[in-house]
Structure formats: structure tokens, C-alpha cells
Structure 1
Amino acid sequence: MKRGRSISDPPDLQFKPLVVIELAKDAKAETKEWLIKKIMDKKKDGGCQLLVKSFVISEEDEMIFLVGASMKRLLLGAEALGLVKECEDGYMRPFIYNNRKEYKHFIEGDEDFLTMAEYQYIIKHDLDNLRAREEKSIPGYPQAKLYPGKSIFRRLQTSGVIVQVFPLHDKEDLKRLTHRWYRQIRIAFQPIDQIRRYFGDTIGLYFGFLEYFTLALIPMALIGVPYYFFAWEDYDKYVIFATFNLVWSTVILEIWKRYSSAMTYRWGTLIMKREFEEPRPGFHGVLGINPVTGREEPTYSSLKRTLRIYLVSVPFVCGCLYLSIYVMKIYFDLENLALEYNQEKQSTFSSLLLFVPSIIYAVVIEIMNRIYKYAATHLTSWENHRLESSYQNHLVLKVLVFNIVNCFSSLFYIAFVMCDLKLLRQSLATLLITSQILNQFVESLLPYWMQKRSNRKIKNKVKSLKMDTEFALLEQIHLEKQMDAYQGTFDDYLELFLLFGYVSLFSCVYPLAAVFAVLNNLTELYSDALKMCRVFKRPFSEPSASIGVWMLAFETMGIIAVITNCTLLGMSPQVNAMFPDSKMDLILTVAAVEHALLALKFILAFVIPDQSYDIQVKVARLEFESMEALKQTQQCVTHFKDWWTTWMFPLCWPHWSN
């Protein structure tokens, strides 16, 4: 077999390779032939009706399948998935192939109507929904059982036949994107629409939120700098800053909802109809019938899942929280030792030593967060949630609870038990700076350096093969298949959530928190762009209408911020001086102010609509059109029934009866 050449070419090879499928080295020949046939077969025959080209790069390497599709096939896939596009009248509507000329920017044969991310999403959806019909097992692997309705690709992946599936980068598009995005440092907005076109809605929304959050932090940073240097011991201004902090944390989230709704409407995902959610790939159980769809699929007892959650997961999380509190106790013991040493020596070295416990604690917090995230991911998978949305909600809840306790418990203890605002400022500054440096190094710089080294080795290996055809494409596939898979936006949103917590909870005590958050986000913009384009595999696109459960997390942190800031206000000497005789009056007053601010927060959330009036009208217009279309369809069916029963049936019945 000639290395680097196609061994199974479809009749039409003029297609753009979009998705790479890597098979195991020992994959059986009959399995490969069967899989190629399933991918290329027509839809009516149970296939995907896609194009496939297969390669063997070297005798020692795995087989590579390149998957593409004709333009008509992709447009029909867009209709099947309900992708929404802008029409000539300016309204967004689900794409219909037969009405394709009514959509803005549609030109017959033009490949730019759909985005590259949408192409790959359509192909991934079709591959994932390649279902078994009459097959009892995977050819060549009798132990890999199949049943009607079972996802073939999921079975191939769990059986180890398919090593990985990933979308291929487009070098020219990527080059243009990186030039506008991070290759030149300049004061400008990110090319969010271009990011979305290349990486999809989920990634586009994350970078849109990152940019918005950075801009929203600037007012806090501008107010915080003069306050820190000139008035941080003036508790009258302390009260003003805390009040501004509370209003700020509410308003920016409500404005983001409006901004994101306008953005996702323009992308078409705000009004995109969600299809029935399929079971997640990791879900397993006894084969049964889904009562909603009537399909055969794995079933699992909800009672067993509930018992796993409450008898295993909850105790595990509580044990981890106890460990976090115990580590915090060790940190305070080290703080006391450093303080005693400084009081005894009174030297420059002893003064610097005061920061060491906080730095060590910040590093330990980051390590514990990452270990816990790994354990929580496996524990949530073990709970065996049927839907991906349920899986994500349980995972986010576990990780957020631990991170809030792990990152903020020491600050709460210092603020409300020790009542040491000086130590609170020192600990907050150390946590902010140390965590930012560690995150930037671990998430971007270290993987980028390791990837550069790996790329040099791979390029040398590919060149040594002396392949004579399609060298550039094969080199690209070789490079990309060795990259680590991007694990989603979870860790990125978590980092922003913790920053929001530091700023909204304690920035009235340490106003420079917003300044450090802005600096972190500015570097995050470039480092995240770098890792998306150069470090990790290109992720598959997924339609998203919002940032999901993270919006609820940010709003919950805003409520906690009200309680925290009101308590800090109640601890100020000026407020205490107003109630010299009765601490109960002080507590009741602080509680009353807290409830008033919470009421103000909820009123603001109610008064500021989640969507602008223009978007509300357009969404209502689409719903009205859908209702009218449904009515017309029902009327047509009724007229056909009347026509059939009145005219056709009496005419045909004598012939049928004979």
C-alpha cells in the first residue's frame, strides 16, 4: 500500500474536507468498509449521504477518514436542523431549502451562506445520529453489540475502533482570524462575529461575555484607583463605594442579557427551535422504549441515580468542603507564625515573609480546585445522567459549591470573624494576583510551549515519510490529531465567575480588585485566543442562545454580594457609632438596608427587560407567522378530508367494493 495515498475514494473527490475520523491501528478491514458504506449511503438506506476519503499515512499509523459533503447536502442538513438565517425583508427565519432564494446573501453555489462551524456541526450531527437498523453487532467485532436505534458512532468510540473525531482547521480562514484577533495588540473590540463564524456560537458567546465583562469592570476600576490611594480609610466614601458596587453588579448582568439576546438573534440561535434532546454519549443502562419517542434506547432507574447523588455524591462534596476548611485552618496557623516572627525580628525579610502564607495558600487553592474538578467530573459521569443539560447542571453545581468555599471561605473568616480589614486586603490581593499568574501559565503558556515542541517533532516525522501527494493536508492532519481536545468553556467561565465574586464581594474593602480583574481579562483575551487557534483542536460548534446556567451563577453571586457588603457596612466605625447603646438596633438596621437593596436589585432586574423592544417585536412576529402557517396547514388538511369524503370516496367506493 502506498503511503499517504487514498485507499477508498468516493466517485466525486471534489469536496472540502471538514471532519477527521481517526481509526485504531488494529481496526478490521471489514469494519472500515462497513463504516465507509454507512457514511456514504443515502438517507433512505440508513446512511449519512456524506463524502469520505481515507488515508493511511504510514504503516505504523492509524487510518484517517476525511469527511465532507456536497453543498446541496449541507443546505438540506441546515433545514433539517432548523438553522435560522436572515431573509430579504430583514427578519430571521428557519432555513427552508425550497425557499433558499428568499434568504439574504444566498447565491447558488456560494459556500459562504453557511459558516464553516455550521458545516461541521451538520456533519457531526449526522454522524452522531447514524443509527443501527438490522445490525446485531459491529462487523468484525461480535462483542460490540448493536440494537435498532443505537448510535453507531458512539458504539464505535466506546469499543475503541474510533480513536477520535474532530473538525479540521481552515488555514486561510484561521490566518485571517488570528491577524484580526490577537496577532496585533491594539485598542479595539474583538471580531466576535468572525470568531462565531469560525468556532461557533458557544465560543463566540464566551468571548463576547469576556469582552463585555472587561468593559463593565472599567467604571469600577476608574472609581477604585482614586478611592484606594486617597480615601480608603474614609468610611463615608466606603459606604458610597459599596452602594455603587451593589447597583453595578445588578445592572451589568441585566444589560448583558439585552446585549446577548440582540447578538444571538442576529446569529439566529435565539429563535432556533430545540429538537428533542438525545441521550448523552456516556449514558448507559438496560435497553428499553422511550415513552416519548417510541425509540429503543438505554434506560436507567431515576431512583438509583437519586441514591447515587444523595448517598455518594453529597457526602463526597461535604468531605471535600471539610478538607477545604481544614486547609484554611493550616493557612491561618502559618499566618500567625509569620506574624509572630515579624514582630520578633522586625526586618525586611520578616516583612516579606508575611506574604508567603497567602501565596502558598493561593497555589494550594488552585491545585485543590483542579483536582476536585477532575473528581467531580468522574463522579457526575458515574451518576449516569441521561441528558447532557442535566449532566452539566450537576457538574456546575458541584464545582461552584466547592470553589466558592475554597476560594472565599478564608476571606469571609478574616472579614466577619477576625474583623481584620488589613489582612483581608492583603489576602485578597495575593489570591487575585497569584491565581491570575497561575491560570495564565497553566491554561495557555505551558500548553502552547509544549505544543510548539510537539509540532516540531511531528513535522520532522512527516517530512521523513517523503509523501508525494497532498503533503500540506496530511501534515496538517498529523499536527492537529496530536493536539489536546478543547474541554469546553467551563473553566473559562469559572475563572470569570471567581473574578466577579472577588470584585462584587470585597472590592469596597480593596478597590484595586477591579483593576487587577481588568488586567487579567485583557491578558485573558489574547491568551484564550492563542490557545483556541494554536494549542487545542478545533472544537465542534454547538448552537447557543445564552451562557446558560452560568447566568444563574452570576446572579446568585450578586445576591450574596448584597449580604456581604451590607455586613461590611455594619462593621464600619461610623455606622457602629450611630448605635452606641444597642447592637440589636444595629443588626436590625443592617438587615432592613439589606432587604431594601435586595428589593432594589429585583426591581432593577424586573424593570430592565431581557430583550430590547425591537427584538421582542421580531420574535413575536416569527411566532405569529408560525401560528398562521400551522392554521393554514390544518385548513388544507380539513379541506382535503372534506373533498375526499364528499366527492372522491363516493366515486371510488363502487369500484373498490367490486
Structure 2
Amino acid sequence: MAQSWSFLDVCESDFRPLVVIELAKSAKAETVEWFTKRIVDKKAKGGAQLLVKPLLTEKEGENIYLVGASHLRLLLGAETVGLVKKCSDNSMRTFTYSSRKTFKDFADDNHDFLTMAECQYIIKHELENLRAKDEKMIPGYPQAKLYPGKSIVRRLLTSGILVQIFPLHDREELKKLCHSWYGRVKVGYQPLDDVRCYFGETIALYFAFLEYFTFALIPMAVIGIPYYVFAWEDYDKYVMFATFNLLWSTVILEVWKRVCATMTYRWGTLLMKRQFEEPRPGFHGVLGIHPVTGREEPVYSSIKRQLRIYLVSLPFVCLCLYFSLYVMMIYFDLEEWALDYHEENDSNLSSLMLFVPSIIYAVVIEVMNRIYRYAAELLTSWENHRLESSYQNHLILKVLVFNFLNCFASLFYIAFVLFDMHLLRQSLATLLITSQILNQLAESLLPYWLQKRYNKRMKKRLCSPKIDKDLSLVEQVNLEKEMGTYCGTFDDYLELFLQFGYVSLFSCVYPLAAVFAVLNNITEIYSDALKMCNIYKRPFAEPTANIGVWQVIFVSFYSYILKEVSENLFKLFDLSATLKFSRYFVLFNALG
């Protein structure tokens, strides 16, 4: 029925599918008709004024719809979301439809003026801003309450009526991007502008930061190799390496700010105004008037939220930290047992046994980090934060504190309590290498293997006689809707955060840490690129001016920890090295 009103503005041959909407198979017909009608209705009637086409498949009962928009509608949407584009005089300005002729490469028949990622972002924005008017509930579902101003898409999602919304891949553009990005082994920069055009600024900035951090590690790796070979027991030279480490850690983060600003200015997101943040889909409360917006929406007492944070979340985090320290003490008992076993037997097997406790501990750390991450997400959702940014900040804080203690507590204990350089070097090497191997297996190889198996099964099932001229599109949608959902850059930045800690805090003890980090990051670039293009659904582009809260975390968190570690590092070295290092450190503090 939706097809009868879906092409009021353009003919069917001009329809370009950009976004897929999958409704539950059990969704009632009146609900589907009401929702699709709201999508295609004029803006004056409270609709999104988009185009909708049902996808015809072999399976009965599937409610899958393709969403597109006319060229005019996308241009007006670009003005609504505040996209910044380059003008003919090479300046960057917010796009307006009335002054469209002044923008570079604009023409009425040039449908490539907006990238596909920007078009999909505009459609996502318009769908999320479909709001209830006089409706009190979702038609056909009395339990799914609505009120004026409530986002219809968010209510459908929380009610289980709407299964998912995702943007479609452009198969031709994806093939070109795959070839230039990871299709051939090369030494050089990534095609970040192409990545940005296809996946958006958030994904492109992550890969830009990963690339920048990898190149920044090369000086540390180059210096670290001769230090490891020729200054194995010369702690005096290690202090000089620690001084260089301190300067390096500060400089690369400051330089990144300028690199990031240069890129985002060129992409037009540095000047882009932030949209007013809407309540997150999981936020709930008593219906009332928000004191800031003046709109009718759920209201939840901040006092109740604070009580949940300080009386439940904080004790839970402290309990997890205590458990992490308890596991660490078990690890030291295993280390003592392995050392005693080696002294008694003194064989090749006993030498290998010295590494077993560290390997087991590294695996346990990874398992604990993932279990805690799941618990932290549940706990942060239960705290009922109104805004997505507030939710993310509380989640990041919980995860960072636990991960940092879980990964680095044993190293700090060995360095500043046991004063055992040999054990510190051995533990650091084992933890770093084991964690990198496990992350590569869990994040890239395993998902890729599972997705390849699914793709083979799906292609065999779709080899039946063709029922529609658009079977290629049907096959594409069926393949993509079953792909995993990309959960954002949180885990990727967290991995870099911990890696930066290993290198900046302890590479003066184990100079090869930067070498292993470089090797890991090179494979990470290729595996993450493969993952984005072939394993996960295409994520919606999200304009951003920087790497967000992670910029603050890298700069403030590690700058404080690094100074504290550096001031106490002399405990591992002799007095002469301490005096030299103290002069370096005083000079560094005086400079900034």
C-alpha cells in the first residue's frame, strides 16, 4: 500500500535507495501504513517528505522498505542539518539553498554535490525528527504511548516494532575504496578523504588518529631497537630514554590537535554547529515539561540518578576494582611458583614456564575487561541518563578506570613495590603481545570468518529462480541486514588508549614496546578497514570536529599519570641516573 503514495515527487526510475527500514514481521498493517505515510507526507503535515518503496522478497511476512529522497529534498535537508561546503572563493560556509549557486561544483543536475554518506545522514536526521502531533499511541499498539513532540522512530524502536534502520552500501564505490584502502599492500597514507566521503567524519577521524599514532610511534621504535640491543643493563641510558619518552608523549598529542583541526576544516565539520541533543531512546520517566526546552517529554529526577550513581554504581565499580587486585595477587603467587619451579629444575621447559603465569594473566585480563564492559553498559543504562553524551561519558569513565587498573596495576606494583626490572620487562612484553593477539582474533579474524560463512549460505539460498528484476538489490539488502552492527569507535579508541599507556609509561623499561605497537597498528589498519567494508553494516555518517572526549582523556589522564610515574621512576635506577633524570624533568616542567 505504501507504494501508491511513494512517488509523488519523482518517477520510479529516478528512485535511488539510500536507507533500509526493517519492521517486525508481526507489525500490524495499520501501523505500517501509518508509519510509511508519515515518512512521505509533506513537511507541513508533520511528515519527512521522503520517498518509500517496499522491497519484494521471497519470504512472506517481511516488512522491509527502501527510503530515498529527491535531489531538491536532499538540498533542503543539507541546509536543515547545517552542512558546511566549500564556496567558489575556497572559503567554507554553511550551505543554504538560496545561495546554492555560490558553492563550488554545484549544479542543478549534479547529484554528486552531496556525498552518499551526507545524503544518508540527512535521511536519518529527517526520520529521527518525525514527531507525534495529536497521536496518543502508535496505531495498533495501545501500550506504545505517544505525546506531542515524541520521536516516532525512537518509540517504534523501544517498542520492538521497528527492528533496524541502516544505510545501504554503494557496491561500486565500495569496490574502489577497498582497492585503494586495503586491497594492496603499500607503504603510504590511507585515502582518508575517500573514507570520509563514504563512512563519514567520525570513522575517518578514527583511522586518521590510528595512522597518525602509528607514524608517531616510529621514532620510539627506531630509538628503542638500539637501546634494547646495546643498553640492555645500562639503566643510565634508560633514564635518558624515559626523558625522551616524556617529551614525545606530550608533543604528539599537541600536534594531533592541529592535524585534526586542519582535516576537519577541510571537511567542513570544524565550523559545523552542533545540533540540539535529543533525549536518548532508552531514557524514561514521568511525562512532564522539561524546564529548558519547555516541551512535554519524560522527566526523571536528577537526585534519583545521583543516588543510583553513588549508592549502587560507585560501590559496584569499587568491588570490581578490588576483585581485579585480588586476581593480580593470584598472578604474583603463580609467578613465585614458576620461579621456584625454574630454580629447582633449570631446564628449557622450566624457562618456558616462567612466561605461563603472564600469559594466563593476560588472557584473564581480556576476559575480565569484556565482562566488566557488559556490566558497565547495563549499569549505565540503569542510571537513566537523559542525553547520549552523558551516557557515554559515564560509561567511558567506568570502563577506563577498570581497564587502566586491570591492565597496569601489576606493572606499577612490580615497578614501585617489588623493584624487579627483569620481571617488569617480562610481564610488560607478555601482556602487550598477548593482548594484541587476542584483540586481533576477537575483533577481526573471528567476525570475518563468521561473516564469510553466512555470505556463502545466503548466496546459495538466493540462487533460486528470479522473482523480480531487482533481485540484485534484494540480495544486497538480505546480505546487509544480517550483518553485524558496528557499535562505534569506543572499543577501538580504548585499545589505542591502553596501547599508548604501555608505550608511554613503560617503554623505557622494555624499548621494544613501540616496535610491537607499530606492527600491531599496521595490521589493525588493514583489519579494521576490512571489517568496516565487509563484516559490518554500513554505519550512518556522523559529522564531528574532533575525536571527542578521547582527546581530553589522552591529554589529561596520561599527562598526569606520566608525570607521577616519571617522578618515581628513579627508584628503578641508580643514584647517578636519578640526578641526571631529575635535571631533565625539572627542565621539562619549566618548559611547559
CA distance in 2, matches of 1:61, 1:503: 54
1:298 aligns with 2:295: no
Matching residue of 2:561: 560
Change (3 A) 1:243 1:6: same
Query: What does the per-residue CA deviation read over 1:534-586, in whole Å, with 9 as the maximum and x for residues that have no partner?
Result: 011111111111111111211121321122123123431143787xxxxxxx9
Contact 2:58 2:467 in 1 (8 A): no
Larger CA deviation: 152-161 vs 53-62? 53-62
1:39-54 alignment, distance < 5 Å: 39-54=39-54
CA distance in 2, matches of 1:307, 1:463: 57
Question: Is the partner of 1:298 in helix, strand or coil?
Answer: strand
Given residue 382 of structure 1, which amino acid in structure 2 is its aligned partner? W
Give the alignment's Cα RMSD to 1 decimal: 1.8
Query: What does the per-residue CA deviation read over 1:125-159, in whole Å, with 9 as the maximum and x for residues that have no partner?
Result: 11111000011111111121111001101111111
Contact 1:8 1:54 in 2 (8 A): no
CA distance in 2, matches of 1:472, 1:466: 10
Matching residue of 1:236: 236
Larger CA deviation: 523-532 vs 549-558? 549-558
CA distance in 2, matches of 1:237, 1:595: 18
Give the drift of 1:9: 4.9
CA distance in 2, matches of 1:593, 1:258: 27
Contact 1:85 1:93 in 2 (8 A): yes
Give the drift of 1:267: 0.8
Give the drift of 1:496: 0.5
Given residue 388 of structure 2, which amino acid in structure 1 is its aligned partner? E
Question: Is the partner of 1:166 in helix, strand or coil?
Answer: strand
Question: Is the partner of 1:97 in helix, strand or coil?
Answer: coil
Contact 2:158 2:281 in 1 (8 A): no
Matching residue of 1:434: 434
Query: What does the per-residue CA deviation read over 1:412-436, in whole Å, with 9 as the maximum and x for residues that have no partner?
Result: 0111111001111111100111011
Query: What does the per-residue CA deviation read over 1:385-416, in whole Å, with 9 as the maximum and x for residues that have no partner?
Result: 11111111111111000000000000001111
Question: Is the partner of 1:477 in helix, strand or coil?
Answer: helix
Question: Is the partner of 1:65 in helix, strand or coil?
Answer: strand
CA distance in 1, matches of 2:541, 2:311: 36
Matching residue of 2:129: 129
Matching residue of 2:576: 575
Query: What does the per-residue CA deviation read over 1:224-267, in whole Å, with 9 as the maximum and x for residues that have no partner?
Result: 00010001322221121111000000000000000000100111
1:6-45 alignment, distance < 5 Å: 9-11=6-8, 12-13=11-12, 14-45=14-45
Query: What does the per-residue CA deviation read over 1:69-114, in whole Å, with 9 as the maximum and x for residues that have no partner?
Result: 0111011001011110111111111001111110111122212211
Give the drift of 1:464: 3.0
Contact 1:51 1:67 in 2 (8 A): yes
Q: Which has the larger radius of gyration?
A: 1
Contact 1:31 1:139 in 2 (8 A): yes
Write out the 4+ residue segments of structure 1 that deviate beyond 4 Å after TM superposition. Answer: 5-9, 592-596
Matching residue of 2:406: 406
Query: What does the per-residue CA deviation read over 1:431-480, in whole Å, with 9 as the maximum and x for residues that have no partner?
Result: 11101111011001000000000111112222236323201100000000
Change (3 A) 1:128 1:534: same
Question: Is the partner of 2:408 in helix, strand or coil?
Answer: helix
Contact 2:130 2:152 in 1 (8 A): yes
Matching residue of 1:184: 184
CA distance in 1, matches of 2:50, 2:289: 29
Give the drift of 1:57: 1.6
Contact 2:127 2:153 in 1 (8 A): yes
CA distance in 2, matches of 1:240, 1:486: 43
Matching residue of 1:104: 104
Change (3 A) 1:62 1:566: same
Given residue 85 of structure 1, which amino acid in structure 2 is its aligned partner? K
Matching residue of 2:224: 224
CA distance in 2, matches of 1:243, 1:16: 57
Matching residue of 2:278: 278
Question: Is the partner of 1:444 in helix, strand or coil?
Answer: helix
Matching residue of 2:164: 164
CA distance in 1, matches of 2:20, 2:285: 30
Change (3 A) 1:111 1:124: same
Give the drift of 1:593: 6.8
CA distance in 1, matches of 2:136, 2:590: 61
Contact 2:56 2:468 in 1 (8 A): no
CA distance in 2, matches of 1:577, 1:158: 60
CA distance in 2, matches of 1:56, 1:30: 19
CA distance in 1, matches of 2:386, 2:587: 42
Give the drift of 1:60: 3.9
Given residue 134 of structure 1, which amino acid in structure 2 is its aligned partner? D
Contact 1:87 1:104 in 2 (8 A): yes
1:120 aligns with 2:120: yes
Change (3 A) 1:319 1:594: farther
Give the drift of 1:58: 3.0
Change (3 A) 1:598 1:313: farther
Contact 1:486 1:536 in 2 (8 A): yes
Matching residue of 1:331: 331
Matching residue of 1:393: 393
Given residue 566 of structure 1, which amino acid in structure 2 is its aligned partner? E
CA distance in 2, matches of 1:267, 1:56: 38
Figure out how many residues of one structure are paired with residues of the other and give that number.
Answer: 588
CA distance in 1, matches of 2:260, 2:287: 41
Structure 1 unmatched ranges of 5 or more: 579-585, 604-658
Given residue 424 of structure 1, which amino acid in structure 2 is its aligned partner? L
Given residue 142 of structure 1, which amino acid in structure 2 is its aligned partner? P
CA distance in 1, matches of 2:299, 2:561: 39
Contact 1:342 1:350 in 2 (8 A): yes
Matching residue of 1:312: 312
CA distance in 1, matches of 2:459, 2:80: 40
Contact 1:448 1:531 in 2 (8 A): yes
Matching residue of 2:65: 65
Question: Is the partner of 2:350 in helix, strand or coil?
Answer: helix
Give the drift of 1:296: 1.2
TM-score when normalising by structure 1: 0.87
CA distance in 2, matches of 1:178, 1:219: 29
CA distance in 1, matches of 2:584, 2:522: 36
Given residue 226 of structure 1, which amino acid in structure 2 is its aligned partner? P
Contact 1:7 1:54 in 2 (8 A): no
Given residue 573 of structure 1, which amino acid in structure 2 is its aligned partner? D
Matching residue of 2:523: 523
CA distance in 2, matches of 1:232, 1:496: 27
Contact 1:328 1:410 in 2 (8 A): yes
Contact 2:570 2:577 in 1 (8 A): no
Matching residue of 2:143: 143
Contact 1:15 1:68 in 2 (8 A): yes
Given residue 106 of structure 1, which amino acid in structure 2 is its aligned partner? F
Matching residue of 1:610: none
CA distance in 1, matches of 2:77, 2:186: 39
Given residue 114 of structure 2, which amino acid in structure 1 is its aligned partner? L
Change (3 A) 1:559 1:465: farther
Given residue 353 of structure 2, which amino acid in structure 1 is its aligned partner? L
Question: Is the partner of 1:293 in helix, strand or coil?
Answer: coil
CA distance in 2, matches of 1:237, 1:8: 76
CA distance in 2, matches of 1:366, 1:224: 27
Larger CA deviation: 174-183 vs 294-303? 294-303
CA distance in 2, matches of 1:343, 1:111: 74
1:547 aligns with 2:547: yes
Contact 1:289 1:295 in 2 (8 A): yes
Change (3 A) 1:32 1:597: same
Contact 2:415 2:572 in 1 (8 A): no
Contact 1:57 1:63 in 2 (8 A): no
Matching residue of 1:87: 87
Give the drift of 1:61: 5.0
TM-score when normalising by structure 2: 0.97
Give the drift of 1:347: 0.7
Given residue 401 of structure 1, which amino acid in structure 2 is its aligned partner? V
Give the drift of 1:275: 2.3
